[in-house]
Amino acid sequence: MQARRGGSVDALGGGGLVAWSGSERIGLLCWQLGPEHSAEITCLAVVSKAQRRGVGRLLLDEAAVHLRELAVDHVWLVTTNENLAALALYQKAGYRLSALRPGAIDEIRRTIKPSIPEVASNGIPIRDELELSREL
């Protein structure tokens, strides 16, 4: 379960794509279809040895193709304020900031998921949710 928007979602419960390098899985992107021709990207993960090699971007681009085939025209996702690499990746892939929820992670930590650390490994306090979206 992934906590966001004051609730939780089964991040692996919808459709998705897997990136392979030979016989090794190196990346995963998951989505859930929503109302009104929308979809939420619920998971994007790339193994550490394959990061910064375009795998995440490839998954985002391929997801856009698949989602268009499913009549989706609006895709959105949620990340946190300290996730700088993800913010850069999403914006380079055409996503735009569409919402800021100051203090949302503080509230999720108190009410849903106390295991979320206060500070990320990069030293930035984890406090806020940022929502990004893209029209397909």
Return d(Cα 73, Cα 51) in angstroms, integer: 28
pTM: 0.90
Write the CATH number for 27: 3.40.630.30
Range of the domain at 20: 2-135
Please state the rounded mean pLDDT for residues 97-101. Answer: 98
Residue 28's SS3 state is strand
Look at residue 57 in the predicted model and tell me its pLDDT.
98
Look at residue 46 in the predicted model and tell me its pLDDT.
97
Look at residue 26 in the predicted model and tell me its pLDDT.
98
Domain total of the chain: 1
Please state the rounded mean pLDDT for residues 109-130. Answer: 96
What amino acid occupies position 69? E
Look at residue 11 in the predicted model and tell me its pLDDT.
78
Task: Phi first, then psi: give them for residue 51, nearest 5 degrees.
Answer: -70, 150
Whether residue 126 contacts residue 81, with contact meaning beta carbons closer than 8 Å, is answered with yes
